[in-house]
Structure 1
Amino acid sequence: MPTLEESCLIGRGNEKVEIIKLISNKDLQHFHVISLWGMGGIGKTTLVTDIYQSQEISSMFDKRACVTVMRPFNSATLLQSLIMQFRDKNEDKNETDLRKCLEGRRYLLVLDDLWSRVEWDAIKEYLPETAASCVIVTTREENIAKQCSKNKRNIYRVNHLGPNDACALFTKKVFKETINLDGQYPELVEQAKLILKKCKGLPLALVTIGGFLASQPKTGFEWRKLNEHISAELEMNPALEIIKAVLMKSYDGLPYYLKACFLYLSIFPEDQKIARRRLVRRWIAESYSSEVCGKSVEEVLECYFMELLSRSMILPSQQSIHSRKGIDSCHVHDLIREIAISKAMEENLAFTLEEGCSLNNQGMVCHLAVSSNWKGDQCDFENIVDLSCVRSLTVFGNWRPFYISGKMRLLRVLDLEGEWDLVDHHLQHIGKLVHLRYLSLRGHHTIFHLPNSLGNLRQLHTLDISGTSIIKLPRTIIKLEKMEHILASGTGDAGSHIDADKQSLMLPLCSAYCCVACCTRRILENELDLDDSAQLNRRDICTMFCCNILPYFVAGRNPGGVEVPRGIWKLKALHTLRTVDVSVGKAVLQDIKKLTRLRKLGLTGINKRNGQELCSAISRLNSLESLSLQSHGETGLSVCLDGLSSPSENLQSLKLIGNLVKLPEWIQGLKNLVKLKLDGSRISEHDAAIQVLGSLPNLATLHLLDNSFVGEEVRFSFCQEAFPSLKVLQLDCIGNLKLVGFEEGAAPKLELLHYSKLRSNPSVGLFCGLPHLPSLKNFMLNRRDWRDTKLVEDLRGQLAENKNGPVLKSYSTPYVRKSLFFRRVHLAQNGRRE
């Protein structure tokens, strides 16, 4: 049976040193428990065994024992094994009391592979808490690690090996030494990269696959054969079966309610980042849970997501600075994904149409996914699976109009999120899918209009049209009384505003495009990057110009918002409504005032005329947890929020985009506020504003963006005891920023600092006090600012003085794609050409 001994000195040196420090910490003269956790096969056993056997540790304790917790768990057998290891040679061989063996002795105990809190409780009651004694626990679950180690400092996550260490371990196993493949075996490099990608730093897989290849001919042909049939090899090759056996233990250990949620992940492609909200809302549509003990279905399923993370069945792919929960997306390790696919197909749960897939009839399949590389036709599509049984359809590209079929009578989820060739007339039959609960068109800037037949979807819970060119929802949407989430934000530049003066200048341009649209369909298709399978018809073009572009242009609409019909108040179940353009009239605010169950609300088009109605509406929404307000005029929000005494006391997230001049007084009363974003606020009272924000007890994320603060010299002073809960701080393009200073004791929990500079900002001396931030982990500097070598050197010098060892990293601003119309309008506004 393969072991992981080869990995103990490759890529684990730092972990070994850190854990030995925890064990030998002189400050811990009391009994303490250290927990190591991570996914199966990550190398926890190898690491802890190497530490246990080290000379440095063995001399520190009077007695030592190391035991693997066997399945099924038997506390009597485990205790007997511990007594045999702890008992001295001269002690009574009949001694069966573990406490007596250890009383008054400093001991070290390693409990490897703990699976439940019950197991820990059963063992712990027999362990005397002798001073300076230590128990080391390894487990696959974070929750168990927290149960064993009450002190956060003693919980250690064992991570995957980095690319260099993974390559070194793999080549050492294959060739018995660490070699440079590029120089010695160039024909193997490409295949080795594919193997390393599949293993993704998992030592068990690296060692096992490397051991298998060590006995095979070192040729590109043999390695390619393994890569092409890796799924079958993991299933049938005795030399590789341990990989699946170890990982299957994690799946088998899942409670029944998590197994279905985990297998659902087989729908998504390899290396796909899966947004937490997208996944949770799809689970809701699939009825994967119900309300439990007063918790809503969404709250329960959010807990399921976090539990899968805790069990390392999914991995966090991004700890976003924009997420209140810290983790906004996940991905699945390739080998874990293989298990999900295998089990899902076994149970006829999910099937993916992809290049090379079998055209044999698959029969009943609940969840159908279409890969971007599938080239089949309508006949293939309808013959491969029984469409009448399909409950979810997810398309990842290569759109074909026949994917939306009237035969899908039970379809609950239609997820078309992406940036491929979907146009308006492809949705003409959407109204036939009467059981649909989740519909996503996110990212399709070529969608301008939703059909009136949307009103037939009486079961719809979630409508996601973010990133489309839709600026108006159909009147029939007010029939959808079960709707809970409407997510809309246009592809226009939210930072630009079409004012009245520029409208007149743009009329000739719009007229010209109308003419082109009517006469030359092909030109538009080229402009929109559409392929031959997604041709625009005459109705698409008329809709685009008559129902979208011209109204947007003539009315001076606010980019990034949608117009909702009168009567939206009838959707009493709404929890999320964003982003609504309220510039079209006051009636919409009267409707929104009646949506008392709203938790998340986003509004744009706020101005002097509707400010009073806005304040009245917000004051009535007592369940609000997230509020986003945007105004793009010169006055902005400065006089629009004066009539608001205070938003909901439950408010956790607040975004204010537009001119404020000064902070609203009610902000200081938001004791539950977790996240605040200010953009274009033009606040001049720097010290007073920072003092108010610093007193908010739960503020964890603060984004100060373009022109949020203005003045000849902008200075931020983070005083002692200010910002007690702040974890993320973003300072992006604040002009004339001269100082960001942290006193000792300020922002004690700050972990992540984002910064993007302007030319007016100094390179040296801008930041001071970085060594005083005890929790700082990362300083993220915009990639373009790395050319400022003085700034980089100054930051590195300060971070080097910080005892927590924070790292300076780069980030780039994400690219947001705009539609043809919005792109050209905004370029023309700024006097530029493509």
Structure 2
Amino acid sequence: MLFFKRIFGCEEKCPPNLKEASEDILKKCGGLPLAINAISSLLASHKESREEWERVRHSIGISQGKASEIDAMTYILSLSYFDLPLYLRSCLLYLTMFPEDHLINPQRLVCRWISEGFIHAENAEDLVELGETYLYELINRSLIQPVDIGRFDEKATWCQVHDTILDFLTYKSTEEKFCTVLTGPSKPVNRVRRLSLVGNEDAQSIEQLDLSHARSLGAFGSSREYLPSLARLNALRILDINGCRGLGNQHVKDIGRLLQLRHLDISLTGITELPKEIGDLEYLEIMDASSCPRLVELPESVSRLKRLASLLVSGKTRLPDKIGNMTKLQRLGYINPFMQSLDFLEGLGELANLRNLSIFWDTDNESDKASYKKQKLVSSLCKLERYKLHDLYVSFNLTEKDAIFIDHSLFPALKSIREISFGSGQLCWITKWMVSLVNLQILNVVGGELEQQDIELVGSIPNLLKLLFTHDVRGPIIIGGGFQRLQELEFDPCATTLMFKEGAMPNLKCLNHHIRPLDFKSAHGDAGFNIGMQHLWSLAQVHVRVYCAGVRVADLEAAEGAFKSMANAHPNRP
């Protein structure tokens, strides 16, 4: 079933002239699901060619002299590997830079591929988009596993590599001297090209390595306190120490000597200051310091980085005034514009290539100049929208003064606004404005006061696809009309009852619901309860989190049983 579903959709659709080859190939897979997945993914791209099927069938037959399941698996993976185009082989081998069972951020992986030069665009193609197509081709071939697929964009939040595949890739990587992984004391290695530090290696082992040709350095482990001297890494293109909280300013003091550096990731480290020599890195294209809240300011020299395409910082970081000099910037986040200077806000509007921008709207610490900065910010955002700005994310912490500014059309309904997070204030202050946002897809309400009428207005947002309520709501919430395109709903105000009427949310695929059994019992009585799940015609998944503090086992079991009954009674059997 696994084999035929992957290639043809079902066994009945397999052409008669491929039946015999199919049966033989399946026998040689020995019932191993990973082997079947790999070989079917390989054959799926050749399902019209009997000659290719016979070649694969014969090749596996030759390997059977080794007989063992491990040898058969290795041989099948080898067939899948050598079937890849050369550019995909390099991308796949690069996964050996990450530890076993590590959840890999797809964006982080694609950015590292780009900095390594693995992705070659033609006709001014977007490198990130092209890199994503490479990633999903490897996923479709069952060589990378997607983790946590988005409900409405169908993209993986994370990805990882099966242990058996990683073992095979590690063998190939060692054979081709592609990557050196240190997990403990090791022998000296000549000409390290890529170095991954994943745990227990000692300083002496690292010092013995010849790092003069190393192109990538990746390090893992929050307790890590040692890195090789950057002065030894003059050919380095990628420095990724994301998550190494034990590393601090002293570890990057020589960063200005990495003149070939393309990619720098210091997020989730103990770094609080970068040397001014960072402005000498003329080839730097990607810099991620997004989770470094103690990095309060970037050196003014950063504005000399003319090739920088992606700059991510904490909302507590002040950026250089001359941001307008960085004309190659395509992605900028997560900035609080009210912490920046007026010169910065004016220069922001000069970034003609900016496609993705994330801002925190929080004026608490800037009451004197906030009104001027709002006007400058809006002026620059309008300019950016006339250029290439495509995705604008705004996180709001509002005061009444902010609400007046936004709701009186002083903040325009920009087409680039795709996602909003609401942290404090009252949602009713800006719901009328949000209804005019034609491209708003994601709304995350994490604070403020909410009532039934606010949710009804939110239902009028024309293209909303994902809605998260993670704050207490006043009174029961009844959803009838509106929300015509919504595909995912998370409802966390567990002290509030939620009801769906007929015709509610016709395209909802995923419901995440948080409850307290006692509150449901008081709302629905001992006769059980029904939230109207049967009215959600497109429902495919239901996730229910039950808060059990102070709850009797009988009430917990009743709540669990009620949701299971509703799911079983639903025509879609979500």
2:173 to 344, 350, 360: 344
2:569 to 781, 787, 801: 801
**Contact 2:311/2:331 (8 A) holds in 1:** yes
Matched, 1:37 2:6: yes
**Contact 1:604/1:631 (8 A) holds in 2:** yes
Matched, 1:738 2:497: yes
**Contact 1:621/1:648 (8 A) holds in 2:** no
Partner of 1:505: none
Partner of 1:597: 353
**Contact 2:396/2:420 (8 A) holds in 1:** no
Q: Distance in 2 between matches of 1:628 and 1:432?
A: 35
1:792 to 540, 545, 560: 560
Displacement of 1:297: 0.7
Partner of 1:573: 328
**Contact 2:233/2:258 (8 A) holds in 1:** yes
Displacement of 1:739: 2.9
Partner of 2:428: 661
Q: Distance in 1 between matches of 2:417 and 2:540?
A: 28
Displacement of 1:332: 0.3
Matched, 1:717 2:485: no
Partner of 1:60: none
Partner of 2:72: 242
Partner of 2:310: 485
1:690 to 454, 458, 461: 458
**Contact 1:616/1:644 (8 A) holds in 2:** no
Aligned CA distance change for structure 1 residues 119 and 427 (closer, same or farther; 3 Å): closer
Q: Which consecutive unaligned segments of at least 5 residues does structure 1 have?
A: 1-15, 20-33, 39-43, 53-62, 73-111, 124-136, 141-233, 490-559, 807-834
Partner of 1:752: 510
**Contact 2:66/2:72 (8 A) holds in 1:** no
**Contact 1:737/1:760 (8 A) holds in 2:** no
Aligned CA distance change for structure 1 residues 590 and 759 (closer, same or farther; 3 Å): farther
Q: Distance in 2 between matches of 1:767 and 1:663?
A: 32
Partner of 1:470: 295
Matched, 1:307 2:74: no
Matches within 5 A, 1:750-829: 750-757=508-515, 762-763=520-521, 765=524, 768-782=531-545, 784-785=547-548, 789=556, 790-806=558-574
Aligned CA distance change for structure 1 residues 295 and 724 (closer, same or farther; 3 Å): farther
SS at match of 1:639: helix
* Number of aligned residues: 524
2:193 to 335, 358, 366: 366
1:281 to 111, 121, 139: 111
Partner of 1:430: 255
SS at match of 2:328: coil
Aligned CA distance change for structure 1 residues 645 and 365 (closer, same or farther; 3 Å): same
Deviations 1:645-681 (A, max 9, x none): 6454354333343324244545344444432323325
Aligned CA distance change for structure 1 residues 292 and 670 (closer, same or farther; 3 Å): farther
Q: Distance in 2 between matches of 1:563 and 1:760?
A: 47
Displacement of 1:320: 5.4
Partner of 2:271: 447
Partner of 1:98: none
Aligned CA distance change for structure 1 residues 593 and 260 (closer, same or farther; 3 Å): same
Instruction: Give the root-mean-square deviation of aligned CA atoms.
Output: 3.7
**Contact 1:754/1:780 (8 A) holds in 2:** yes
**Contact 2:466/2:489 (8 A) holds in 1:** yes
**Contact 1:593/1:621 (8 A) holds in 2:** yes
SS at match of 1:279: helix
1:254 to 60, 84, 101: 84
Matched, 1:409 2:234: yes
**Contact 1:741/1:767 (8 A) holds in 2:** no
Amino acid at match of 1:369: S
2:403 to 638, 642, 645: 638
Bigger radius of gyration among the two: 1
**Contact 1:690/1:718 (8 A) holds in 2:** no
Q: Distance in 1 between matches of 2:225 and 2:476?
A: 54
Aligned CA distance change for structure 1 residues 687 and 270 (closer, same or farther; 3 Å): closer
**Contact 1:561/1:604 (8 A) holds in 2:** no
**Contact 2:230/2:252 (8 A) holds in 1:** no
Aligned CA distance change for structure 1 residues 419 and 296 (closer, same or farther; 3 Å): same
**Contact 1:438/1:461 (8 A) holds in 2:** yes
Aligned CA distance change for structure 1 residues 326 and 704 (closer, same or farther; 3 Å): farther
Partner of 2:61: none
Deviations 1:192-231 (A, max 9, x none): xxxxxxxxxxxxxxxxxxxxxxxxxxxxxxxxxxxxxxxx
Displacement of 1:243: 1.4
**Contact 2:392/2:416 (8 A) holds in 1:** no
Deviations 1:487-517 (A, max 9, x none): 223xxxxxxxxxxxxxxxxxxxxxxxxxxxx
SS at match of 1:66: helix
Q: Distance in 1 between matches of 2:141 and 2:285?
A: 29
Amino acid at match of 1:754: N
Partner of 1:611: 374
SS at match of 1:459: coil
Aligned CA distance change for structure 1 residues 334 and 119 (closer, same or farther; 3 Å): closer
**TM-score in terms of structure 2 length:** 0.81
Matched, 1:701 2:466: yes
Displacement of 1:116: 5.8
SS at match of 1:737: coil
Partner of 2:98: 268
Q: Distance in 2 between matches of 1:239 and 1:122?
A: 27
Q: Distance in 1 between matches of 2:132 and 2:229?
A: 30
Displacement of 1:758: 7.1
**Contact 1:606/1:640 (8 A) holds in 2:** no
Matched, 1:353 2:182: yes
Q: Distance in 1 between matches of 2:227 and 2:507?
A: 53
Q: Distance in 2 between matches of 1:682 and 1:347?
A: 59
Q: Distance in 2 between matches of 1:649 and 1:308?
A: 34
Matches within 5 A, 1:427-576: 427-444=252-269, 446-468=270-292, 469-489=294-314, 560-576=315-331
1:652 to 403, 418, 421: 418
Q: Distance in 2 between matches of 1:245 and 1:486?
A: 43
Q: Distance in 2 between matches of 1:353 and 1:647?
A: 52
Deviations 1:24-67 (A, max 9, x none): xxxxxxxxxx95128xxxxx99x969x99xxxxxxxxxx99823
Amino acid at match of 1:68: A
Q: Percent identity?
A: 24
Q: Distance in 1 between matches of 2:414 and 2:174?
A: 47
**Contact 2:413/2:436 (8 A) holds in 1:** no
Q: Distance in 1 between matches of 2:201 and 2:116?
A: 26
Q: Distance in 1 between matches of 2:218 and 2:11?
A: 43
SS at match of 1:443: coil
SS at match of 1:263: helix
Name which of structure 1's ranges 289-298 and 667-676 shifts more when overlaid on structure 2: 667-676
Aligned CA distance change for structure 1 residues 388 and 71 (closer, same or farther; 3 Å): farther
Q: Which consecutive unaligned segments of at least 5 residues does structure 2 have?
A: 26-38, 57-63, 364-369
Aligned CA distance change for structure 1 residues 301 and 576 (closer, same or farther; 3 Å): same
Displacement of 1:331: 0.6
Partner of 1:25: none
**Contact 1:272/1:331 (8 A) holds in 2:** yes
Q: Distance in 1 between matches of 2:238 and 2:173?
A: 17
Aligned CA distance change for structure 1 residues 636 and 254 (closer, same or farther; 3 Å): farther
Q: Distance in 1 between matches of 2:45 and 2:479?
A: 49
**Contact 2:516/2:546 (8 A) holds in 1:** no
Name which of structure 1's ranges 279-288 and 247-256 shifts more when overlaid on structure 2: 247-256
**Contact 2:393/2:417 (8 A) holds in 1:** no
Displacement of 1:484: 1.5
